[in-house]
């Protein structure tokens, strides 16, 4: 073919130019191949894991405090509470504390905090949820806070709330809040569908039925979290508990995940999607973002925590809604999950003692200031149940739970609560995979539950960390 | 060289007006020296920030690394675990599907676009800019915007489909569509970039060939088949290699998946690189993650070498 000659001529024309286009491209591809190694994560991984999680930087300087309530966030009063707390401490103490904001998504589902510890740059003080407690406790980076607390203050916290923050009687985290999960509903959507308060579902069957009536072309009947992650597991656990099942048995030796309770809970979430009454994707930052979902009219009922009250107050003040406790399965017992974040101190930080003292000063002392701070957080900055008796008493006295959804939360929803369990990432992943497969891929709940139970059991055989609760 | 000879050379140089003891480098050596000096900083950076960490990471695959300072030698245990880890094997399968569909789709579309914008048509500059535009936007923004547009029922894409009577789907929430959606968004994002590369290749082809073909009465397809395609081979090879590497290593895809699906629904978009990320940075299993990353690099090296051999490095047929 003549094209061969043309090609040859083209090459001749290229001679004398140094590197030909052909050579350049071939070499470029080779360089790209070399560069891939960087992108494949090898180089990234090599920087991790060698430093023992200590805090980096200079030994002096302010203590760093990582949290996810940034200035200009959804609720301004929350970031202000953090700023005021740190300002008050800095005024009274020589050791200064400096706030550092990490975005919510990155903090909860991302890698920034973990990577910081792996590279020896972990913060001195940070927030942690029970879902992530064992990772850091087993890593040996949590400071015992009980040594700086009075007995009276220790007893002031509710035992159910402290169970997931305590190991061998020592307290490693001081909760700021207790956040029960519930169902929120749009009053307007109910009215449009010809439903009233008397139609509020009490059972799973009723929930699906009502959701079917509420569903329109532009609105889903009910919404559960769909993004895989710790938060999705957190929101699903109470449905499993209502049927008497658990991911890990109370003695921590085996999994109970292949029991009826777990299977029927997997099926409930699957049915909601299969029937088309629940979405497969959620809006905003996820299923915990009530303004972007219920508030925007994307769904008529949303599974969300107590923080939704403050979020709606700030983000959609005119939106009319109600709350009700999680419906239960036939023969089941009401249960909800009590989430919430806690202050913890880095045992390998630049000054663990001062970091621990800060946590105790802020949330765990019997001083009036500490109690006041607790009330301000749960009643003004947020809308939560108090983790301490004294704080709950004062907040109640000040009318924080006297009416509206907060009254329902305190009197009807909170009493059936169980603390968020602390599981290792291996247990979390097994549950998450089963949940995702059933909810969004139509997998057989029984088979998925069995598979997850086997995975958890295999892991538990070699597990030697703190007890899962 | 003897002492006498050296002395003679020095005298000779001095007589020629050149400073004694200096020997002028040949042009070839001067070029080589200049090139080395230019390349040296980059090579040093590559060695320090890529080469050494790479070796360390390979070694890390032989250890159990907790991320909090706990390091235990486990030999090949991480590699054994990897081969029996169904989720890892599943993620490799997802990676293969992703890479094949992305590379092929991206190749065809960007080449078609390049052929289009090479034509002398009105507003061709605007067209080129439009196709390239997505590439200059942050991937996180791209992911968020597409996520919003692809929402179940109420997203703009579903509304349009509904209006056309095609019914709505959960593009990111259904495992049947999620990976294809991510592939489509990836191609949409990168097609402009590869279009520019193809365009550069097309513009290198001398116009005389096309003129000669026209005189010979060649049709469009014949012109493409016998002139454009063979002369574009080096560019095509470059695009194939770079897009394959980009797909396997998840250069752009990782960001999209992180923002749009978090590896879901039901691990359907959990590429190998995403699973490695999860093991390392969410589950603190750095040793295991390093072993999987090493394995992925090995696969990539084999795939690339195979491509080099099969296409003979993208050389012209006459080579």
Number of neighbouring beta carbons within 10 Å of residue B15: 8
Task: Confirm whether A209 is domain-assigned.
Answer: yes
- How large is the average pLDDT for residues A363-370? 96
In this predicted structure, the answer to whether residue B233 has a pLDDT above a threshold of 60 is yes
State the Cα–Cα distance between residues A388 and A396, nearest whole angstrom: 12
From A1, A10, A229, residue closest to B226, measured CB to CB: A1
- Cα separation, A168 vs A469, whole angstroms: 12
CB B85: neighbour CB atoms within 10 A? Answer: 16
Q: Is B263 on the interface with A (CB under 8 A)?
A: yes
Question: By the CB < 8 Å criterion, does B249 face chain A?
Answer: yes
End-to-end CA distance of chain A: 76
The verdict on A166 and A76 lying in the same domain is yes
Q: What is the mean pLDDT of chain A?
A: 88
* CATH classification of the domain holding A248: 3.40.190.10
* pLDDT value at A4 more than 60: no
B67 touches chain A (CB under 8 A): yes
Verify that A311 and A359 share a domain, yes or no.
Answer: no
Query: In Å, how far are A153, A223, A237, A337 from A231, measured between CA atoms?
Result: 30, 14, 10, 12
Instruction: Kindly state the percentage of chain B with pLDDT values over 70.
Output: 91
Task: Check A7 against B66: CB less than 8 A apart.
Answer: no
What does the pLDDT read at residue B42? 94
- Is A40 among the domain residues? no
> What is the distance between the alpha carbons of residues A77 and A69, in angstroms, rounded to a whole number?
10
Inspect the interface and report whether the beta carbons of B57 and A50 lie closer than 8 Å: no
**How many angstroms separate the CA of residue B111 from the nearest CA in chain A?**
16
How confident is the model over A187-196, as a mean pLDDT?
97
Q: What is the pLDDT of residue B9?
A: 47
- Contact indicator for A394, A371 with CB cutoff of 8 Å: yes
Query: Is it the case that residue A166 has pLDDT exceeding 60?
Result: yes
A122 falls in which pLDDT band (50, 70, 90)? very high
Residues A273 and A396 in one domain: no
Burial class of residue A28 (count of CB atoms within 10 Å of its CB; 0-12, 13-18, 19+): middle
Are A283 and A292 a contacting pair, CB within 8 Å?
yes
Cα–Cα dist A122/A57, whole Å: 10
State which H helix or E strand residue B246 sits in: helix B233-249
Mutation choice for A interface testing from B68, B85, B237, B294 by most A CBs within 10 A:
B68
Q: For position B179, what pLDDT does the model report? A: 96
B168-223 pLDDT per residue, tens: 899 999 999 999 999 999 999 999 999 999 999 999 999 999 999 999 999 999 99
**Are A341 and A176 contacting, i.e. CB atoms less than 8 angstroms apart?**
yes
In contact, A468 and A130? CB cutoff 8 Å: no
Omega before A91 within 30 of 0, i.e. cis: no
Looking at residue A388, what is its pLDDT? 96
Domain count along chain A: 2
Res A8: pLDDT: 45
The answer to the question of residue A50 being in a domain is no
Beta bridge partners of A342: A128, A175
pLDDT in tens, B238-275: 999 999 988 888 877 899 999 999 999 999 999 999 99
A4, A41, A227 member nearest B293 (Cβ): A41
Instruction: Report how far residue B311's alpha carbon sits from residue B305's, in angstroms, rounded to the nearest whole number.
Output: 10
Inter-chain residue contact A35 with B245, CB threshold 8 Å = yes
Bridge partner list, B133: none
Q: B65 by DSSP, 3-state: which?
A: strand
**Does A403 lie in the same domain as A355?**
yes
State which H helix or E strand residue B98 sits in: helix B86-118
Chain B hits for A426, CB-CB cut-off 8 Å, are 283
Long-range contacts at A84-90 (CB < 8 A, ≥ 24 apart): A85/A362, A85/A373, A88/A369, A89/A358, A89/A361, A89/A362
Check CB contact under 8 Å for A6 and B227.
yes
**How does pLDDT run across A416-449, given as a tens digit for each residue?**
899 999 998 899 999 999 999 999 999 999 999 9
Interchain contact, B66 vs A139, CB within 8 Å: yes
Write down the pTM of the prediction. 0.83
The A342-345 sheet, strands edge to edge: A97-101, A63-67, A125-128, A342-345, A174-175
Q: Which CATH architecture has domain B79-314?
A: Orthogonal Bundle (1.10)
Cα of B7 to nearest chain A Cα, Å: 38
Distance between B31 CA and the closest CA of chain A, angstroms: 11
Q: Are residues A298 and A256 in the same domain?
A: yes
Token pair 């080579």: residue: B319
Burial code of B226-237, b = ≥16 C-beta within 10 A, e = fewer? bbbebbbbbbbb
pLDDT band at residue B315 under the 50/70/90 scheme: low
Domain extents in chain B? 3-58, 79-314
- Region B62-67: what's the mean pLDDT? 90
Model confidence at A106, in pLDDT bands (50, 70, 90)? Answer: confident
The whole-number average pLDDT for the span A280-286 is 92
Q: Read off the DSSP letter of residue B64.
A: E
Phi, psi angles (nearest 5°) of residue A349: -80, -175
Q: Is A43's CB within 8 Å of B53's CB?
A: yes
Chain B residues within 8 A of A45 when measuring between CB atoms: 57, 60, 280, 286, 289-290, 293
What's the token pair of residue B54?
Answer: 């790479």
Between helix A368-375 and helix A76-92 the angle, nearest 10°, is 170
Q: SS3 for chain A, per residue?
A: CHHHHHHHHHHHHHCCCCCCHHHHHHHHHHHHHHHHHHHCCHHHHHCCCCCCCCCCCCCCCCEEEEECCCCCCCCHHHHHHHHHHHHHHHHHCCCCEEEEECCHHHHHHCCHHHHHHHCCCCCCEEEECHHHHHHHHHCCCECCCHHHCCHHHHHHECHHHHHHHEECCEECCEECCEEEEEEEEEHHHHHHCCCCHHHCCCEHHHHHHHHHHHCCCCCEEEECCCCCCHHHHHHHHHHHHHCCCCCCCCCCCCCCCCCHHHHHHHHHHHHHHHCCCCCCCCCCCCCCCCCCCCCCCCEEEEEEECHHHHHHHHHCCCCCEEEECCCECCCCCCCEEEECCEEEEECCCCCHHHHHHHHHHHHCCCCHHHHHHHHHHHHHHCCCECCEHHHHHHHHHCCCCCCHHHHHHHHHHHHHEEECCCCCHHHHHHHHHHHHHHHHHCCCHHHHHHHHHHHHHHHHHHCCCCCCC
Q: Is residue A216 part of a domain?
A: yes
Tell me: do A438 and A321 sit in the same domain: yes
CB-based contact B262 A425, cutoff 8 Å: no
Q: Is the same domain home to A399 and A429?
A: no
Single out the residue of A356, A391, A315, A6 nearest to residue A161, CA to CA.
A391
A184: β partners:
A302, A323
Smallest CA–CA distance from B224 into chain A, residue: A3
- B283 reaches A (C-beta below 8 A): yes
Portion of chain A with pLDDT greater than 70, in percent: 86
Q: Which pLDDT score is estimated for A467?
A: 87
Please report, to the nearest 10 degrees, the dihedral formed by the alpha carbons of residues B41, B47, B48, B51 taken in order: 160
At CA A46, angle to CA A422 and CA B96, rounded to 5?
80
Q: Please answer whether residues A252 and A467 qualify as being in contact, where contact means their C-beta atoms are separated by less than 8 angstroms.
A: yes
Q: Please, what is the average pLDDT of chain B?
A: 89
Query: Angle between the B233-249 and A21-39 helix axes, to the nearest 10 degrees?
Result: 0
Q: Give the other-Cβ count within 10 Å of A454's Cβ.
A: 14
Find residue A98's DSSP bridge partners. A64
Same-domain check for residues A449 and A407: no
A120 with A260, same domain: the answer is: no
Residues in chain B closer than 8 A to A429 (CB atoms):
283
Q: Which residues pair with B72 in a beta bridge?
A: B64
Contacts of A298 in chain B (CB under 8 A): 151, 154
* Average pLDDT of the residues in B121-141: 93
Provide the total of helices (H) and of strands (E) in chain B, helices listed first. 16, 2
Shared domain for A251 and A372, answered yes or no, is no
Do A388 and A279 fall within a single domain?
A: no
Q: What is the pLDDT of residues B4-56, one digit of tens each?
A: 444 444 444 445 555 555 677 888 999 999 999 999 999 999 999 989 988 99
* Contact of B61 with B290, CB cutoff 8 Å: yes
- Count of alpha carbons within 13 Å of A370, Cβ hemisphere only? 22
Task: Kindly state whether residues A285 and A415 are assigned to the same domain.
Answer: no
pLDDT at B59: 94
pLDDT at position A115 over 60:
yes
Q: Tokens 């009910």 — which residue?
A: A222
The number of residues making up chain A comes to 469
Whether A408 is in a domain gets the answer yes
Given this model, what pLDDT does residue B87 score? 93
Structural domain including A217 reads: 179-338+423-462
Is residue A297 in a domain? yes
Average pLDDT over residues A26-35: 49
């Amino acid at each position: 073919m003549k094209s061969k000659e043309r090609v040859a001529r083209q090459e001749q024309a290229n001679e004398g130019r140094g590197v030909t286009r052909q050579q350049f491209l071939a070499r470029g591809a080779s360089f790209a191949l070399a560069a891939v190694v960087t992108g494949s994560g090898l180089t990234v991984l090599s920087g991790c894991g060698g430093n023992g999680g200590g805090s980096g930087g200079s030994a002096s300087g302010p203590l760093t405090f990582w949290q996810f309530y940034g200035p200009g966030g959804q609720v301004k009063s929350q970031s202000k509470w953090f700023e005021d707390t740190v300002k008050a401490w800095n005024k009274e103490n020589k050791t200064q504390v400096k706030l550092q904001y990490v975005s919510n998504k990155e903090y909860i589902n991302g890698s920034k905090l973990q990577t910081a510890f792996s590279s020896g740059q972990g913060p001195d003080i940070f927030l942690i949820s029970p879902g992530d407690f064992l990772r850091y406790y087993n890593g040996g980076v949590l400071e015992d806070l009980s040594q700086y607390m009075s007995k009276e203050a220790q007893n002031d916290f509710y035992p159910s709330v402290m169970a997931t923050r305590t190991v061998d009687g020592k307290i490693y985290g001081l909760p700021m809040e207790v956040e029960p999960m519930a169902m929120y509903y749009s009053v307007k959507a109910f009215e449009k569908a010809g439903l009233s308060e008397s139609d509020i579902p009490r059972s799973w069957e009723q929930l699906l039925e009502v959701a079917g009536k509420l569903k329109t072309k532009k609105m889903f009947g009910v919404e559960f979290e769909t993004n895989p992650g710790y938060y999705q597991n957190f929101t699903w656990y109470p449905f499993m508990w209502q049927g008497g099942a658990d991911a890990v048995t109370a003695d921590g030796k085996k999994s109970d995940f292949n029991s009826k309770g777990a299977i029927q809970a997997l099926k409930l979430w699957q049915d909601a999607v299969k029937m088309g009454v629940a979405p497969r994707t959620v809006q905003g930052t996820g299923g915990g973002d009530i303004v972007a979902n219920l508030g925007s009219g994307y769904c008529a009922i949303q599974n969300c925590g107590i923080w939704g009250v403050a979020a709606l107050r700030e983000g959609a003040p005119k939106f009319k809604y109600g709350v009700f406790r999680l419906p239960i399965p036939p023969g089941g017992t009401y249960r909800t999950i009590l989430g919430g974040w806690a202050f913890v101190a880095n045992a390998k930080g630049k000054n663990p003692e001062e970091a621990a003292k800060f946590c105790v000063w802020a949330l765990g002392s019997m001083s009036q200031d500490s109690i006041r701070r607790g009330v301000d957080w749960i009643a003004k900055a947020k809308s939560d149940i108090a983790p301490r008796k004294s704080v709950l008493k004062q907040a109640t006295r000040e009318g924080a739970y006297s009416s509206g959804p907060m009254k329902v939360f305190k009197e009807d929803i909170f009493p059936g609560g169980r603390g968020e369990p602390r599981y290792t990432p291996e247990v979390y992943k097994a549950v998450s995979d089963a949940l995702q497969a059933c909810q969004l891929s139509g997998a057989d709940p029984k088979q998925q539950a069995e598979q997850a139970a086997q995975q958890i059991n295999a892991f538990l055989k070699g597990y030697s960390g703190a007890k899962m609760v | 060289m003897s002492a006498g000879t050296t002395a003679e050379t020095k005298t000779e140089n001095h007589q020629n007006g050149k400073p004694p003891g200096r020997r002028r480098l040949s042009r070839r050596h001067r070029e080589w020296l200049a090139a080395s000096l230019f390349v040296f900083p980059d090579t040093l950076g590559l060695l320090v920030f890529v080469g050494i960490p790479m070796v360390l990471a390979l070694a890390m695959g032989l250890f159990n690394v907790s991320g909090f300072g706990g390091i235990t030698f486990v030999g090949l245990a991480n590699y054994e675990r990897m081969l029996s880890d169904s989720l890892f094997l599943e993620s490799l399968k997802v990676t293969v599907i992703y890479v094949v569909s992305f590379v092929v789709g991206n190749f065809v579309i960007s080449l078609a676009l390049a052929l289009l914008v090479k034509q002398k048509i009105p507003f061709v500059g605007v067209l080129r800019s439009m196709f390239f535009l997505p590439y200059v936007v942050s991937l996180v923004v791209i992911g968020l915007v597409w996520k919003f547009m692809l929402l179940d029922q109420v997203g703009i894409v579903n509304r349009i489909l509904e209006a056309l009577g095609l019914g709505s789907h959960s593009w990111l929430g259904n495992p049947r569509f999620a990976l294809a959606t991510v592939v489509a968004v990836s191609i949409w994002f990168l097609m402009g970039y590869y279009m520019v590369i193809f365009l550069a290749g097309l513009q290198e082809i001398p116009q005389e060939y096309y003129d000669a073909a026209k005189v010979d009465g060649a049709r469009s397809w014949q012109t493409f088949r016998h002139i454009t395609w063979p002369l574009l081979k080096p560019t095509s090879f470059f695009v194939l290699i770079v897009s394959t590497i980009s797909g396997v290593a998840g250069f752009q895809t990782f960001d999209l998946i992180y923002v749009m699906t978090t590896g879901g629904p039901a691990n359907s978009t959990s590429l190998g690189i995403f699973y490695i990320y999860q093991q390392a940075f969410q589950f603190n299993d750095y040793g295991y993650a390093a072993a999987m990353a090493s394995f992925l690099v090995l696969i990539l090296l084999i795939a690339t070498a195979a491509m080099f051999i099969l296409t003979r490095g993208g050389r012209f047929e006459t080579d």
